[in-house]
Amino acid sequence: MREKITACITACNEEINIRRCLESVQWADEIVVVDSFSKDRTVDICRQYTPAVFQHAWLGYIGQKNLVKNMATHPWVLFIDADEEVSPGLRDAILADFETGACQAYAGYEFPRMVHYLGRWIRHGDWYPDIKLRLLRKDLCYCGGKEPHDQMMVKGQVKRLTKPLHHYTYVDISEQIVTLDRFSSISAHTQHDERRRFRLFDLLCRPGFRFFRGYFLKLGFLDGLPGYVIAKSAAFGTFAKYAKLWEIEGKVSPLSTNGWKASAVVPPVVRSDTDPAGTKSN
């Protein structure tokens, strides 16, 4: 008998994506969902697929993944976000190793994540192959990293599969811009909390290098205009992060006009397992 797998999903207000995600993990031995008090039909849809649906206040990307992991009852955990799906090829590759017992030689599996954005699959630039370590032995792993970029950690050998996890990251450019604003705020506050100081070099040079790396070095131009949008927005997100760090350090006075003033409060983010390239859940 093969070792069993729990699919672990974190979600909030994901009624547009969650059914596709749940359908893609029906082959798993258990599905556990932790919802951050959705106000749409996310919870109702999840309960059509699994009784293991829990609601918990948002603990951050790292805390939420560790929470859902601890709710799993099987020895292997597969982390998947509500806007992702396990492709048929990836499903078959996983089951092939588990049916033969080959999985006993490993503590985890990693695989590429392929993003669908602006009407096409992105196959170059910072967004691909975007290797993710997502299938792990529960007793040998935990979620670490720095908000908002959670990172799975595992003790033992990891095998890389070639078939992708699919990611339906943004509905449109407007949603991407909103998310970049949120992520840059979280990153700036995290760096400030870690006592990382603002440097003018970071603000002036890192955004340009980020664009050059994604669009030219990583061949983002081969993805056409969407590739340009991705590289340009990643550069802007980098710029915004360091500009906000400068602002947080008090190098500019809070804006105050007619009773309005700038706020340092970071709005809650409901996606998990994001990555430094700027895609989201995450």
Q: What is the pLDDT of residues 121-155, one digit of tens each?
A: 999 999 999 999 999 999 999 999 988 889 999 99
The domain covering 5-167 belongs, at the CATH homologous superfamily level, to Spore Coat Polysaccharide Biosynthesis Protein SpsA; Chain A (3.90.550.10)
Banded pLDDT at 251 (limits 50, 70, 90): low
Task: Check pLDDT > 50 for residue 265.
Answer: no
Judged against a pLDDT cut of 50, whether residue 282 lies above it is answered with no
pLDDT for 115 beyond 60: yes
Specify burial of residue 275 (Cβ count, 10 A radius: 0-12, 13-18, 19+).
Answer: buried
**pLDDT for the residue 148:** 87
pLDDT for 52 equals: 98
177 falls in which pLDDT band (50, 70, 90)? very high
- Contact yes or no for 60/147 (Cβ under 8 A): yes
| Range scoring the smallest mean pLDDT among 16-25, 84-93, 195-204, 254-263 | 254-263
Q: Where are the domains of the chain?
A: 5-167, 173-253
pLDDT at 275 over 90: no
* Terminal CA-CA length for the chain: 33
Contacts of 1 (CB under 8 A, 6+ apart): none
For 187-196, how does the pLDDT look when each residue is reduced to its tens digit (9 = 90+)? 999 999 999 9
> The whole model's pTM is what?
0.85
pLDDT digits 0-9 by tens, 47-106:
999 999 999 999 999 999 999 999 999 999 999 999 999 999 999 999 999 999 999 999
* Cα 9 from chain centroid (whole Å): 12
